[in-house]
Every structure is written in structure tokens, then in C-alpha cells.
Amino acid sequence: MVKVKEERAPSPPVEVGEPREFVLQPAPQGRAVCCRLTRDKKGMDRGMYPSYFLHLDSEKKVFLLASRKRKRSKTANYLISRDPTNLSRGGEDFVGKLRSNLLGNRFTVFDNGQNPQRGGGVDVGSLRQELAAVIYETNVLGFRGPRRMTVIIPGMNSDNERVPIRPRNSSDGLLVRWQNKTLESLIELHNKPPIWNEDSGSYTLNFQGRVTQASVKNFQIVHADDPDYIVLQFGRVAEDAFTLDYRYPLCALQAFAIALSSFDGKLACE
């Protein structure tokens, strides 16, 4: 996929305030939060387990989140932290994680609450929330065509706060509700289908100048009711650098985790 050249005036940078709170708060309404995601493959096993860093794409380059794929995990499992130097579950800056199913085509994003299967009489309020689910569908063109993504996120209440989704067991959760088509209090989003461009011989999307390199990972996420309102867009600008722009109702943690899922190269989705 390639960019379509169309520049627009940048909006003023979003004020972060307290970063720990900012990464969980929905984007301000009417504004895009523009970020830069970088991948670090240096070092012994970084080739297999790279680290990922999210910064605000502004002059100050405010650090937001870091992540790394966990080793010795049966499925893809990324820990997400506010501390770029401590990507462990025990760290006090651990804010959430992204985990896939065994096939590697469905992902769930959790916050840092308690796993319901680990604690006995855990207070429901301390159970982890599911913040997003990402479903990759095998496309009809096999490995050559663009990916198809569905993203499920909790809905927002009248105070513009996220509806908490805290499953108590494996028979509930965003993926289960999506499969059962019980989408009450949930928002279903999809990637915007790219258009085939005869001149370039590739699929294209208009990233308004924010994406400069073709990649199977480039995507835009929209709602069926308003395909011009881009909730999330992600695309390559260099070998290990990507832009990640998100809007209300997403927060930085949701946006970062959804983008991380696209790096997990299971062939079913390539």
C-alpha cells in the first residue's frame, strides 16, 4: 500500500499532562492524537523479540508506552508498560497486555487488573478490563490481498467514559460477545478497504501525508456509519518507524495494542 499525496495543516499538539492517566483516557473529541511508533530490533534476541516504543509525534517527543513480546508464551503475548526500561508484569508501570489466540488471528487487549482465573474471591472492581479485541480475517486473495480487520471496543457512557467490560470467566468477553452478536454497549469497527490503483499496481489509502511507505501493515479503522471519520490509522514511514494517529473514543493504550497486533506475522493474515 502506498500513500496518496495530500497534505493538510497539522493541528496543534495535544497536551499530555500526567502521562500515566493520559494513556488510558479517550482522545479529546474533535482532535487526532498523532504518535510515532518505533521498533528496536538491536541486540541478541531483539530480532525475534523486538521492543516497541510509542511517543507523541510532536517537537517534545513525549514518551507514552513501551512493549515487548514475552518469551516462552504459547501464544503471542505483549506486555505494555509506562516504563521503557522495565517491561515486566511485576513493574509498577505495567499498564496492560495484548494476547492472541493459538491461531494468532484474534487478539484481546487487557488493562492491568486481576486475571479472574487466578484469584479466588477477588473484588469484581479489581478484575481486569478488556479494552479491545482485534479479529483478522483471511482474505479471499490468500496472501497477496489486503488484510481485513474487525476491532471491537467498549462503548462510551453519557459522561464520555468507557463502559467497563470485566469478564469473570472465559465464557464472556469482547470476542465471545462479538461471536454471539451481543454487541450491546460495544462498538464494532472495521478497516477501511483500500482501493486498487492501476497506475501504481497496488492497493492505496489516503493517509493525508502521514504515511510514506507501502506495507501490508498500513491500515485505517472506521465505523460503518461514518467511514470518513478515521478512528485509528497506522502506517510505515521508515524501516522501523510508523505513524499511529487515533481519535475519540480510543485511548493511547488501545491504539498502541491494536497496532502491535499487526506486527504478529501469522501467515493466515499476511
pLDDT of 146 reads 67
Peptide bond preceding 249 in cis form (omega within 30 of 0): yes
What CA–CA distances, in Å, run from 146 to 86, 201, 216, 226, 257? Answer: 35, 13, 7, 21, 20
Nearest to 190 by CA among 145, 147, 246, 253: 147
pLDDT of 266 reads 57
pLDDT of 65 reads 97
Q: What is the DSSP letter of 168?
A: S
Q: Terminal CA-to-CA distance of the chain, rounded, Å?
A: 13
Give me the residue label for grid cell 498502541: 256
DSSP, residue by residue, 73-106: -SS-EEEEES-TT--STTSTTEEEEEEE-TTSSE
pLDDT of 74 reads 80
What CA–CA distances, in Å, run from 15 to 12, 28, 100, 119, 143? Answer: 9, 10, 33, 38, 41
Per-residue model confidence as pLDDT tens for the chain (270 residues): 544 444 444 555 677 777 778 999 999 999 999 999 999 987 656 667 889 999 999 888 899 999 998 887 788 899 999 998 887 777 789 999 999 998 889 999 999 998 888 766 667 778 999 999 999 987 655 555 667 899 999 999 999 899 999 999 888 999 999 999 999 999 999 999 888 888 877 778 889 889 988 888 889 999 999 999 999 999 999 999 999 999 999 999 999 999 999 987 654 444
225: left (phi over 0), alpha (psi -120 to 50) or beta: alpha
pLDDT of 121 reads 62
